[in-house]
Structure formats: C-alpha cells, structure tokens
A = this chain, B = another copy of it.
Amino acid sequence: MHNIPNQDRARVLVQALPYIQKYAGKTIVVKYGGNAMISNELKDAVMNDIVILQLIGINVVLVHGGGPEINDMLKKIGKESKFVNGLRVTDKETIDVVQMVLAGKVNKTLVQLLEQHSGKAIGLCGLDGRMIMAEKKAAAEDLGFVGEITEINTGVIENATKNGYVPIISTVAGGYNGAVYNINADLAAARIAAELKAAKLILMTDIRGLLQDKDDEETLIPVVNVSEVPSLKREGIISGGMIPKIDCCVEAVRRGVKRAHIIDGRIPHSILIEMFSDEGIGTMFY
C-alpha cells in the first residue's frame, strides 16, 4: 500500500469524484455491530470512513447495538437471562443494565473514539428528544421490557447533523408510561433511515452478504429487488439469522430508503468501498 505513487493516489481521488457528487448532502444510516465493533483495527477503519464521509458533505448517522457488552455486565452482576424464541426476557433489572451499558458505555465510548479520529460526535439514545417511542411488544410469552417502535422523532438527530456532529445512537426507547424498552437495533436503524429519507441504509454484519450457497462466499448475490425476497425465502436462500437482517432492509426500502445494504464488516473500510465503487460490496436491496 505504501508504495502507491502520488500520481496514482491522485487518480484514486479523481475516480472517487462521481460517487462524492452522488451522495454529497445526502444522509446515510449505518448500523454498526459485529466484528467491526470488536477488532481495534476494524474500529479505526470504520471511524476513518465515517470522518471522511462527513467531511465531503455526507451526513452519517451511526446506530449501534452492544449485545456482548450487555452480556458481560449481566454476568458481572450475577444475573442470568432467559430467552424465548431468541429474544431475551427483559425484566426491570435487565433493562436498567441494557440502558446503562448501551447509552452510557458503548455509546459514549464510540463518541470518544470518533473524536480521537478528529470527527465531531454526539451520543444519543432513543430517550433524547423522544427520538424512539415504543410500546411493549406483544408476544405469546411475556418478554418484559422488549419494545416495538411506535414513533420516530428525528429532531435531535437533525440538529446534530445540521451542526456538523455525527449522531451516534443507542436504541433504547421510551414508553408513553415512562418505561424504557429494549429495541432491535437493526430495525431501529431501518426506521430512522426511513424517517430521515436517507439515501442508504448500511447494515454491517459478519458475513459477505446474501449467498446463493451459504457455505460458499463466492456465490454472493450482489443485488436483490425487494420484491424477490419472498421467493428467496421460500427457496431457503434467505434463512436463519439472515431473515431479520433482510426484513430490515425490506422495511427500509418499503418506507422510502433508496438502497439498503448488507455488507461484510470484517473487511476494513467496507463502508467506503461500498460507497465509492460501482460494484460495491455485499448485497444491495432496492
């Protein structure tokens, strides 16, 4: 890499031009998670990608999860979790930990990290400015404080981007009764993207994208029209953990986001590569 001569560097910039022109002034919502939030090298690359996008006039909104940190903290206080259909039964003590870890630890640590990469950031959660309002998720078995989004208010997000700050968002939501609910971060990102009329939703995952044969990374499906999703599910190509991710993409596109992407966060600079090349990376839903 360090051998790239200056002229080739200049050409790389020139070749990035049409992509910059395409997205300047637009909003991109990135759901951050997985390995890209664990490895230090990947974290640095993500922060650099965000700073460069912000600098060339693209509004980046970063939505994050934090499952591993929540688990660590629950373990630390000796709390055991019960799961129903893959959803954590969230009692009062658990939701307190979720709020504390996401909005207090993961979120503000990301804020500081972006600032160390000379970005400007502000850490928000769904409670700030009533950004994410929710009600208790209906379920066969009582899941406790697991919520379903009822309303998105983008005021605090837009104040941040308008003033040059990258909003970094934890997805705990407020209830009308004063309760706090845990919310699926992918879905929150999709809903926020829709409300902001974002040009793109990017979900960072630990897989290549949607694969024709899930065991062969060479069989990546680069582009999917959301109308094809039901048949892809029937054929079993969309299955398992991919289902909720892809449902988020479909939800975002249905609500007006131009393009939703599932990209491989394990590849350094995957966001920039997605934004600044024709072939992109991962799978795009439109």
Contacts and interface: CB of A to CB of B under 8 A. Distances in A.
A118 B24 CA distance: 14
Interface in A11-29: 11-18, 20-21, 24
A21 to B, nearest CB: 6
A273 B163 contact: no
Q: Bin chain A's interface residue count.
A: 35 or more
Contacts of A113: 178
A220 interface: no
Contacts of A247: none
Nearest to A16: B13
A81 interface: no
Number of this chain's copies in the complex: 6
A256 interface: no
A273 B10 contact: yes
Contact of A7 (B77, B115, B155, B268): B268
B128 A121 contact: yes
A103 B110 CA distance: 13
A155 B162 CA distance: 13
Interface stretch (A44-52, A144-152, A182-190, A229-237): A44-52
A6 interface: yes
Nearest to A93: B76
A272 B13 contact: yes
Interface of A: 1, 4, 6-18, 20-21, 24, 45, 48-49, 51-52, 55-57, 73, 76-77, 96, 99-105, 107-109, 111-113, 115-116, 118, 120-125, 127-130, 155-156, 159-160, 163, 165, 172, 174, 178, 180, 267-269, 272-273, 276-277, 281
